[in-house]
Amino acid sequence: MQKDLVIPENIVTEELIRTPDTKIADYMTFGMPDVSPIGAPDLTLRTRVRGDEWIYTYLRTFYEDSSQTSGSNNLVYVGTAMPNVLVGLQGNQALDKDGKIVQVSEGSMTMEEFDSSMKDLVNFLAYAAEPARITREKNGIFVILFFIVFTAVMNLLYREYAKELK
C-alpha cells in the first residue's frame, strides 16, 4: 500500500504506526483481546469472495437484536457473530413489522456521510484484498495483444507449412 500510494516511509512510521516496536508489514494485534477462538472475520477476504456490493450492504444493514450474543444481527448475513462495530457512526437501527430497517437513534454521521464512508471503506478493503490487481489489469492488455499478434504469426506460419505439404 505504501508503495502503490507513493507514501514516504517516514510519514508511514510517524502517522500510522502507534507503537515504536512495530514494523511496517507487521500484523495489527495491539489493542485486540482474544475474544473467541474463531477470531475476527477477514473482511478483505469476504470482499474478494462475495464482492464489493455484498460487503457494502453487509456493513450498512446491522440492526439491534437482543437474541444475539453480540446484541446485533444483519439482514444480509442472518445470525452473524460480528457485532455492529459501526454503531457509533451509523446509529442504532431496528427492524419494523415489515422486516425493514428503521433508524432508532442517530450516530455521529448523517446517513449520506455514513454511506460515503462505507463506499471508501469497501474500496479500501477491495484494494487491500488484492493490491496486485492494479498491476495485473494493466499487464492484461499487453498479454492479450501479445496473444493476438502470436496467433496471427502462427497462422501465417501454418499457411506456409500447409503450402509445402501439398
pLDDT value, residue 69? 85
H and E: helices and strands count for the chain: 6, 4
pLDDT confidence of 126, banded at 50, 70, 90? Answer: very high
Q: How confident is the model at residue 160, as a pLDDT?
A: 95
Q: What is the pLDDT of residues 12-71, one digit of tens each?
A: 777 777 676 766 665 655 555 565 556 667 899 999 999 999 999 999 999 999 898 888
Check pLDDT > 90 for residue 150: yes
- In the chain, where the domains are located: 33-130, 132-166
Which of 103, 104, 116 is CA-nearest to residue 56?
116
Q: Are strands 72-74 and 101-103 parallel, antiparallel or unpaired?
A: unpaired
- Tell me if 46 sits within 8 A of 34, measured CB to CB: no
Residue 114 vs residues 16, 73, 117, 129: alpha-carbon distances, Å? 23, 19, 5, 22
Confidence category of residue 5, pLDDT binned at 50, 70, 90: confident
pLDDT tens digit sequence for 81-122: 888 999 999 999 999 989 899 999 999 999 999 999 999 999
Q: What is the mean pLDDT of the chain?
A: 87
User: 72 near 153, Cβ under 8 Å?
Assistant: no
> Is the entire prediction scored with pTM above 0.75?
no
Q: How far is Cα 148 from Cα 154, in angstroms, rounded to an integer?
A: 10
Strands 62-64 and 72-74: antiparallel
